[in-house]
Amino acid sequence: MLVKAAVLEAFGAPLVVQEVELSEPRAGEVLVRLVACGVCHTDLYTASGADPSGYAPTVLGHEGAGVVERVGDGVSSLAVGDHVVTLFSPECRECIHCRSDRTNLCLAIREQQNQGYLPDGTTRLSRDGDPMRHFMGTSTFAEYTVMPEIALAKITPDASLEGACLFACGLSTGLGAAMNTAQVTAGSTCAVFGAGMVGLGAVIGCRLQGAERIVCVDLSEERLALATAHGATETIVGGKGAVETILEQTGGFGADYTFEATGNVEVMRQAVESARMGWGLCTVAGVAGKGETLDIVPRYLITGRRVAGSSFGGVKGRDGVPRLIDRWLAGDIDVESFISHRLTLDDVNRGFELMEAQDGIRSVIGFR
């Protein structure tokens, strides 16, 4: 079938909206009709060429939600008509990582997915007969996509797919960083660096975990106001003095839990240095650019601070995303406030421009 899609032709160039060929799902695969897709920083990161593992041409997009249209042989957990959230982080439920409560990094299709292929080592996307690789195993900047069954989370049809798509990456990453990776404890003090989608998710996660103080740091007063609306008890305008301010506000010790959600290695260092002496945990959820390194003075670690990385917030997608969406429907998470702009696929490059200008939190592409 021919589908309209946004193709990354070359790094640093605008995406090109065009028709590509999408073949039928094979064994263990599912055809999904996309209804909504968020424009995430990871898409921009890859399009810019900053991602060392990036490739082109490819159909970008990974923060999607839609409806199952067809299933391939052997698919048992999904049926036509099911509402799903796409997962760049799959969950086979069988590999050693899926059976462990220590990680969410499924091993089942990781090698093929990282290279842009579906589990059998081939693609369903092509153009003029030439294969085109899938992006993050998802390629959701398109009217339809074919994905592995294990990379789709079945959700309740009561949830708006426009809001549900945010749980495919950014929102789940932030929520999970606080709830799964850091496992914030009730009554604790937290500091969140960055008030974009991931950082705001972390603020909410800290609130849901019962944190007593939640300090949010960002350069934007508008975003800090939104962080307050979502549970931040204090805000700090970001900059060189942020660490000193946090230390002053915590009796010189630092926060029990800190979170970095900007991808800026200097901010990552600030998050480490703001963590409490003795037991402070810094969780890094932002993605740094190609070749960048995090410089930490060993003294901060020797005196009890720890650093943890968090991919997709430690969320095991097929099981965890539906639970997070239930929290949304229960009124614990205000998802609507994150949707800043509603775009069509033809406006996808506008979504990148809005992101670079820090205009709003999330642009969402709607498919007719």
Which residue matches tokens 């989370």?
153
How many helices (H) and strands (E) in the chain? Answer: 11, 18
Contact 184, 211 (CB under 8 A): yes
**Phi-psi sector, 167: left (phi>0), alpha (psi -120 to 50), beta:** alpha
Could you confirm whether 92 is annotated as catalytic? yes
Phi, psi for residue 150 in degrees, rounded to 5:
-75, -5
Could you confirm whether 213 is annotated as catalytic? no
Contact 5, 135 (CB under 8 A): no
92, 165, 216, 282: the catalytic one is 92
Could you confirm whether 62 is annotated as catalytic? yes
Residue 46: both structure tokens together:
């890859």
Please give the Cα distance from 94 to 187 (Å, whole number): 36
Cβ burial 14-28 (10 Å sphere, 16+ → b, else e)? ebebeebbbeebbeb
62, 124, 230, 305: the catalytic one is 62
29, 37, 40, 134: the catalytic one is 40
21, 69, 95, 103: the catalytic one is 95
Could you confirm whether 206 is annotated as catalytic? no
Could you confirm whether 190 is annotated as catalytic? no
29, 37, 41, 223: the catalytic one is 41
37, 83, 86, 169: the catalytic one is 169
Give the helix/strand (H/E) hosting 267.
Answer: helix 265-273
Pairing of strands 306-309, 257-260: unpaired
29, 42, 145, 149: the catalytic one is 42
110, 127, 133, 306: the catalytic one is 110
Could you confirm whether 41 is annotated as catalytic? yes
29, 46, 58, 63: the catalytic one is 63
37, 83, 106, 230: the catalytic one is 106
98, 190, 206, 216: the catalytic one is 98
- C-beta atoms surrounding 344 within 10 Å: 12
Which residues form the catalytic set? 40-42, 62-63, 92, 95, 98, 106, 110, 169, 362
